Chain A
Amino acid sequence: MNYNWNWWIFFEPSLDGTNTYLTTLFWGLGWTIATALCAFAIALVLGSVVGVGRTAPSPWMQRSATTFVEIFRNIPLLVQMFLWYFVLPEILPRDAGMWMKQLPNAQFYTAVICLGCYHAARVAEVVRAGLESLSKGQKMAGQALGLTLPQTYAYVLLPMAYRIVVPAITSEFLSCTKNTSVALAIGLMELTGAARAMQENSFQIFEAFTAATTLYLALNLVIVFAMRAVEGLAVVPGYGNRRNAVKGR
């Protein structure tokens, strides 16, 4: 292989003329983090609502929640990204469509909403699995004490279900972070986009993607350690595995 390695490329000015390639890569990382955090916040809230809807006694709530899940998890993410960005503004009323097209940072908002909905569908299934893993008696016990159904979900079922599914939520958060790279397809200059731009302008493909790989790895390791701390906080004394086994009975 005839390749000229040049690690100093990071300190050379990028195509915008003012910033170095390193700076543009970090800007890309910033967009990746912002997109992942906003999208996952939506995914957690919306996914919880939909997950609760999947287990609710009302048939129409169940059907609506199931429809949401099946639509958003069964269409490829890239296709969804195109639908949100290119198709939706065209099928909306003219004024709304124009407003969307002219929105500053439209790629960012589109990516956040698209990833938010996609991961909400998956989080909903995780939350549903957590809720269904609890005994039926927990819901009855909450209701027998006079709690309404929403109160029973809020104070009895969800707090326990979330604790059970923290590891699965961690995986979803990691997937969401990695999936931000799909937003490159609609022009968001997130980390992969920034690396690709660097490669196209400088032809230093290995350096550009080595940097991107390292930054993705570092970012996901931070998430893993943060979620491990959350997992530690979620431990219920005496419940579940042997690690938390009974002390001082």
Chain B
Amino acid sequence: MITLNDVSKSYGDFQVLSHCTTSVSKGEVVVVCGPSGSGKSTLIKTVNGLEPIDSGEILIDGTSVSSAKTNLPMLRARVGMVFQHFELFPHLSIIDNLVLAQRKVLKRPRPAAEKKGMVLLERVGLIDHARKFPGQLSGGQQQRVAIARALAMDPIAMLFDEPTSALDPEMINEVLDVMVELAREGMTMMVVTHEMGFARKVANRVIFMDRGEIIEDAAKDDFFGKPRSERAQQFLSKILVH
């Protein structure tokens, strides 16, 4: 479904991604973790071309992300993305946030787009807030709307970039619950997160990154059981203590 082949990227002299190779199969949930500044957010943003790459290749369902021939907007529409800071459009009501891209990209008529939006809002438990604006919702609620907004495009895969990092602790679970449900339904997911509880619960594989490199790419049990690299061991010992 998603294949990264020898992907590298640098900002001037600073190498953000160095020869990253991995893949995510259909229905697989892959968690990407690592210390801050390790390049994991950049990596996930390269998957749908939000961050251009210097070398290597990224394929989504066989289509190259970096090829000039690819219709990048249409490709992005098929891959949902959820951001750390939600990034709902503040001037649009919640339902309009869900309707906008359905209408402009998928050309769905408004009634059909609204219907789809309402079904998804119901699913994330926010149907009563459809006519409110993002600024009137809590962080956790906004992130659930952001997930619904991505799902409204009927994506073949979902990318999550630290979806709970900007949330107050009591709001993290409401977002994770939606993600767990999604994973259990068979959605292909690539998730950058420090939520190791989530990784243990639903991940198939865990990728550990440090200084722009993929240090470890292992099945969940192997990663949590006995990580091979010393850096991954140190990382786990630090975050699992809490």
Contact = CB atoms under 8 A, between A and B. Distances in A.
Interface of A: 135, 137-138, 140-148, 151, 155-156, 159-160, 163, 236-240, 244, 246-249
Interface stretch (B79-87, B173-181, B210-218): B79-87
A249 B136 CA distance: 6
Contact of B105 (A135, A145, A247): A145
Contacts of B77: 145-146
Contacts of A144: 48, 50, 76, 79-81, 83, 150
A144 B50 CA distance: 7
B111 to A, nearest CB: 19
Contacts of A159: 91
B169 interface: no
A146 B76 contact: yes
Nearest to A149: B73
10 contacts: A137-B85, A144-B76, A144-B79, A144-B150, A145-B76, A145-B77, A237-B135, A239-B133, A239-B135, A240-B135
Contacts of A160: 89-91
B101 interface: yes
Contact of B76 (A143, A156, A240): A143
A151 B83 contact: no
B133 A137 contact: no
Contact of B149 (A145, A163, A237): A145
B138 interface: yes
B26 interface: no
A242 to B, nearest CB: 12
A237 B105 contact: no
B134 interface: yes
Given A238-B136, A249-B138, A145 B153 contact: yes
B61 to A, nearest CB: 15
Nearest first, the 5 A-B pairs at minimum CB distance are A238-B135, A146-B77, A141-B87, A145-B101, A238-B136
Given A236-B133, A238-B135, A246-B136, A138 B89 contact: yes
B228 interface: no
A23 to B, nearest CB: 46
A49 to B, nearest CB: 21
A239 B91 CA distance: 8
Contacts of A237: 132-133, 135-136
Contacts of B104: 147, 151, 155
Given A137-B85, A159-B91, A249-B137, 12 more contacts: A144-B48, A145-B150, A146-B78, A148-B73, A151-B105, A155-B89, A237-B133, A237-B136, A238-B90, A238-B132, A244-B135, A246-B135
B45 A140 contact: yes
A123 B88 CA distance: 27
Contacts of A135: 85, 87
Contacts of A156: 89, 100
A48 to B, nearest CB: 16
A156 B89 CA distance: 7
A33 to B, nearest CB: 31
Given A137-B85, A140-B45, A160-B90, A146 B136 contact: no
B74 interface: yes
A4 B50 CA distance: 74
Contacts of B153: 145-146
Contacts of A143: 50, 73, 76
Contacts of A163: 91
